């Protein structure tokens, strides 16, 4: 499965895919305020990801089709990761593959201190991150914060 999944830096040709993914309430249920994004807001976020040095978005492809998104955003003390997957792809173990490849890319880029913030009810995402060595650091009603420090080579 992993050999057919690839991450590619986002570009303008991915805008309609991100607009569609971010309009799906199943995808955005655990992102931000949990509401689908408007087309305008999604386009603004894509443009920001393309133009920013602190934000890296990677579109996930499988067999020539866009299926998800891996994100990396520089924060004060660590790089925050996130990932989205089209609902038609859920339940196939692809989140694990996306995180594997995203973390590998970040490590190859010299990024070692990582964090993620996850809604406590998003059990599947918490499990994926914990299987990748993330450790719960804090938990409140809205978010669980996890961190991971990758040993430098």
The predicted pLDDT at position 32 comes to 86
Cα–Cα distance for residue pair 7/73, rounded to 1 Å: 16
CA nearest 115: which of 98, 84, 137, 140? 137
Q: Which CATH code fits 2-149?
A: 3.40.630.30
The pTM (predicted TM-score) of the whole model is 0.92
Q: Torsion over CA of 5, 92, 120 and 34, rounded to 10 degrees?
A: 70
Query: What strands, in cross-sheet order, belong to the sheet with 55-62?
Result: 5-9, 55-62, 65-74, 79-85, 113-118, 144-149, 135-139
The predicted pLDDT at position 137 comes to 95
CA nearest 85: which of 27, 39, 31? 27
The predicted pLDDT at position 1 comes to 46
The predicted pLDDT at position 6 comes to 96
The ranges of the chain with pLDDT < 70 are 1-3, 150-153
The predicted pLDDT at position 3 comes to 52
The predicted pLDDT at position 70 comes to 98
70-109 confidence digits (pLDDT tens): 999 999 999 999 999 999 999 999 999 999 999 999 999 9
Helix extents (H) in 75-152: 94-108, 123-131
CA nearest 46: which of 75, 77, 23? 23
Burial 15-34 (b: 16+ CB within 10 A, else e): bebbbebbeeeebbebeeee
């Amino acid at each position: 499965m992993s050999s057919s999944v690839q991450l590619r830096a986002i570009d303008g040709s991915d805008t309609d895919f991100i607009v569609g993914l971010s309009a799906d309430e199943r995808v955005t249920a655990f992102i931000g305020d949990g509401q689908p994004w408007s087309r305008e807001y999604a386009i603004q976020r894509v443009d920001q990801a393309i133009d920013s040095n602190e934000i890296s978005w990677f579109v996930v492809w499988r067999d020539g089709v866009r299926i998800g998104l891996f994100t990396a955003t520089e924060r004060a003390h660590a790089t925050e990761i996130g990932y989205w997957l089209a609902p038609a792809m859920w339940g196939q173990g692809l989140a694990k593959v996306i995180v594997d490849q995203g973390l590998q890319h970040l490590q190859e880029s010299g990024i070692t201190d990582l964090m993620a913030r996850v809604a406590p009810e998003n059990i599947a995402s918490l499990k994926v991150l914990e299987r990748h060595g993330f450790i719960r650091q804090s938990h409140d009603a809205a978010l669980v914060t996890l961190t991971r420090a990758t040993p430098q080579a």
